Every structure is written in C-alpha cells, then in structure tokens.
Structure 1
C-alpha cells in the first residue's frame, strides 16, 4: 500500500494542487476526486454557515483505518483525504477525497466507499446555522444505508 495523505485542518485546500499530486504517477490510469462543500439548505431549511468539530487524534486514526479498508478492497495506489473543521461559509469546500488506481472502476468505487464511511464512522460533528438559529445535525439514515451497502 502506498502512503495515504490524511489531513484534518481549518485552512481551505486547492483542488488543482491536490489533483496534480495524485496524477503525478504515470502508472495510474484513473484519478477520481470528490469535493464536498457547504450548501445553502438542508432538509428544506436555509443554511447560512456550517461549523464542524472533531475529536483530534481519533479522527485521523479513523480516516487511516477507512483508507486501509479501501486499499484492502481495491487495487489503489494513492489516497488523499482532507477534511476541514471550524466555521465555513456557503460555498466553501469541506472535504476532498482523491483516489488513484490503474483502472477507473476501482477508483470510482473506492472514492464512493471512502466518503460513505467517512460520513458514518469518522468523529465529526456539524453545527448548522440558519435563519431559525443553530442546531446540531443528526446522522442521516441515507448515509447509514449507503455505508451498509459496502458491508455485503
């Protein structure tokens, strides 16, 4: 397994730079990226900003475990996971997942697996602010169902 690049940070990330790092190995025929960002609604309610908190140390360990699981399932070369914490405005980037492999099917599947497991296993907590105040966001059943799909 090649080394995973896992970062939890407050600073934004540059997608082009992250892609360039992932795409630099010519043995890879596929580079798949996912970027999640702050949207202006959730469950039909307006959102003005989002604050993400995490459990330092444990968060990185869980992300490493998820990455190791992906490497065990698919022939991957490089994996990058960057997850931001702190308060972010509408449209700001939250998470970057990048995966490389010799073939696209493995890269697409692994990228989807990584975001599904990140959303259900990594210790992050979301505080959404909107016109009705702030509230902590509960885990979604749809995220749990997506993660269960990978267990069969």
Structure 2
C-alpha cells in the first residue's frame, strides 16, 4: 500500500499518510491532522491538549450540574421541613410527622412526598381561612 511521507506540524514526528486518507492521527503527540491534497501539507485539526481540555470542561460541567441539583434538592427539603413543622399544630401530629419524613426524603410513600407537603400546606391554609372567617 502506497503512502505519502510527512512530518507532524505539532511535534515534527515522521508520518506515513495512506493514499486516499485525508485525516490521520500522529502516533507521538496524538494530534488529529488533516492532509490537504492541493498543497500536500498537513494541518492540525485538534491537538491532544485541546481534546483533553474539552474532556476536562465536560467533566467539570457535569460535576457542577450534579452539585446544583443536589443543592436545589437540599433547599427544597429544608423549605418542606419548615412547612411541615409550621403545619404541625394545625394538621395534627401524624400528618406533620409524615410530612416531615417526606421532607427529609425518608418517606415510605413511594414518590408521593410532594403531595403530602402540598396537602399539609393546603390544610393549614384552610384552617387559617376558617379561623379568620369565624373569629
């Protein structure tokens, strides 16, 4: 198989470019190179450092997104726990305990935690409205 011989423009390592190929990877610096037949020169498409940098940025972004989701969940649970504590006198102990467990993420309700908190909040609002109208 015939091949053209050249040198990597990034590290000057010798390269064999198979006939008909337009992109090759340098075995030494792992840069992606493009062979331009018109000028018979190699152009650097991406260096290894650029590829590693992009990987690091993608990983860092994924870590930050996960951290943001965890912080938002913690903030929601804290708010839900406050609502459950505030609702305890109005809705009764059992409902308040269930709402508080749900807010902490320890509920056994199988994913209906939001509904418990909303129901407790609605019950508190109803009781407050009834007290305001009655007294």
What TM-score results when the alignment is normalised by the length of structure 1? Answer: 0.19
What TM-score results when the alignment is normalised by the length of structure 2? Answer: 0.20
Higher strand share: 1
Structure with greater Cα Rg = 2
Higher helix share: 2
Bigger relative contact order, structure 1 or 2 (CA pairs below 8 A, ≥6 apart): 1
